[in-house]
Structures are given as C-alpha cells and as structure tokens.
Amino acid sequence: MRFLRKALEVLTLAGFLSGCAGSPTFLNPASPIAGHEAGLYRTIVYLAAGVFVLVEGALLYSILRFRHRPDDSTEPRQKYGNPRLEVIWTATPVLLVATLFVLTIRTMGAVAAPAAASTDIQVTIVGHQWWWEFDYPDLGIVTSNELHIPTGTAVHASLVSEDVIHSFWIPQLSGKVDVVPGQTNTIWFRSEEPGEYHGQCAEFCGLNHANMRIKAVVETQAEFDAWVANQDLPPPAPSGQAEQAAFDLITHGICSN
C-alpha cells in the first residue's frame, strides 16, 4: 500500500507538471540575454548535481561499508581528525563559490545593455492594471500588449507604472524587471530569431494579474517597416449603418475618456 500511495503521488505530480508543456522558458533562448542566463543556470545545475552525487555516494558507501554486522561485537576503531579531508571539504566549497561568483559577474557583464546607437529603437513600456502599453516615441506608435521588434536591432526600453508594482518578463528574450510607480527602470532586447515570444507580468498586481500577458513579435526589418507603415494608416471607414453606429459609440467613448 505504501508503494501504491507513492506511485499515485508521483503520477499526480506528473499530471500537474504536464500542464507546463509549451510554456515559455528561458531555457529555450531566442536572444543573447536569455542565452547567457540559460548557460549560467545549466552550469549551476550541473555543479549542484555533481556535488549531490559525490556526497550521497560517499554517504551510501559509508552506510553499507561500515554498517553493524550481527557477528561484530567490537566497537569500531575511533579516529579523530584528518587534516587532508578537512582541507578538501573546506577548500572545495570555497572553489565552487568562487567559480560561481566569477561566472555570475561574467554573465552580468554580458547581459548589460550596450551603448545606444542611432539605429536602435526606443520604447517606453507602461504597466497598467491589467495591460501593457508600448510607446514608440520616435515612430509615433502606441500599442497594447504586443511588442514588435526587428531582428538584429537593439531595442532599449524604459519601464514605468501607472498604478501598482508590476514585473515585465519575456523569458526567451530577457530577464525580469520590476515596474515600480514613480521609478523608471530599463531593459533591452535583441534577437536574430523571428517568431512570436510570450511573456507575463511576474508580480501579483491585482485580480486580473493572470490576464496581463505580453506578446513580442520578432520579425525581419522589411516586415517591421511594413508593420510601422500599416500602423500609420487611418482606420478603415465603416461600410454599414450598424458598423457606423458601433464606430461612433467606440469613438465617443474613447474621446470622452
């Protein structure tokens, strides 16, 4: 019964974890930032796994090798102090921590925002309850919840909040950045892989926090230019009375707000 209970627990956990399939993850990077973060994460996991195997292996060996036997009536020989072992288990953690410190500093330097160039794109990201506003000041374009990025171009973004604390995160493109009222934080993107990448507000910000999603569209420069040109076009005129009434109602509502 104990085995069946454990098996049921494992199957239940596997069922819950299966719901995570297809979720965006920085372990499938589409930008230099996510790539460096994924590399540091994997290094830490491999080192931790190696330490776990060595420690648990030594523990199991000691349990089996020096276990009490029915025909053994003598006390084991007592031995105190082993300078060689003490140096090893003191120096090894120090070396591991120093290695991780150096790798972390290198990763932080690698993901630091490059100096802005004239070809880069500036975006102001505003967090609202519960949606994202993307303002391209140099292009005169404002979108909601959908960010467009041309491949091979650095996008420098300033993040502000209109209400509460949010957290901007597109796992495959960048790390998390808090969006704090009264404070401007910065982030940057660059990707060579066209596609759609999804993100989420990573800070609980109210009842509809789960609906505060992000879609980043990475496209070629020609596709980005076509998108910009399309955004500059006026909205199409309504063709019927019902559409005209709806258009007038929406326009009146927007203007009145």
Q: What is the pTM of this model?
A: 0.73
Structure tokens at 65: 């090798």
d(CA 169, CA 184): 16
Contact 98, 107 (CB under 8 A): no
171/97 same-domain check:
no
Asked, for residue 73, whether it belongs to a domain, the answer is: no
227/172 same-domain check:
yes
205/104 same-domain check:
no
Residue partners of 199: CB distance under 8 A and separation at least 6: 24, 168, 169, 170, 171, 173, 213, 214, 215, 216
85-to-80, 92, 98 alpha-carbon distances in Å: 11, 11, 20
Tell me the β-bridge partners of 136.
Answer: 141
d(CA 82, CA 88): 10
**CA nearest to 201, candidates 184, 179, 183, 216:** 179
Asked, for residue 13, whether it belongs to a domain, the answer is: no
Asked, for residue 256, whether it belongs to a domain, the answer is: no
227/130 same-domain check:
yes
d(CA 199, CA 204): 14
Phi, psi of 131, rounded to the nearest 5 degrees = -160, 165
139/159 same-domain check:
yes
Q: Could you give the number of structural domains in the chain?
A: 2
d(CA 187, CA 132): 15
Tell me, what's the pLDDT at 257? 42
48/98 same-domain check:
yes
Number of alpha helices (DSSP H) and beta strands (DSSP E) in the chain: 5, 10
Asked, for residue 127, whether it belongs to a domain, the answer is: yes
d(CA 210, CA 129): 11
Contact 143, 227 (CB under 8 A): no
Asked, for residue 168, whether it belongs to a domain, the answer is: yes
Structure tokens at 175: 């790390």
Print the domain residue range for 49: 24-66+83-112
Estimate to the nearest angstrom the gap between the alpha carbon of 164 and the chain centroid: 21
How many Å from the N-terminal Cα to the C-terminal Cα in the chain?
64
222/130 same-domain check:
yes
CATH code (residue 203): 2.60.40.420
Asked, for residue 238, whether it belongs to a domain, the answer is: no
pLDDT digit string (tens) for the chain, length 257 residues: 676 677 677 777 766 655 555 677 888 888 888 999 999 999 999 999 999 999 999 899 988 887 777 777 777 677 777 788 888 888 989 999 999 999 999 998 888 878 777 678 899 999 999 899 999 998 888 999 999 999 988 899 999 999 899 999 999 998 889 999 999 999 898 888 899 999 999 999 889 898 999 999 999 999 999 998 888 777 776 666 666 666 666 655 544 44
55/92 same-domain check:
yes
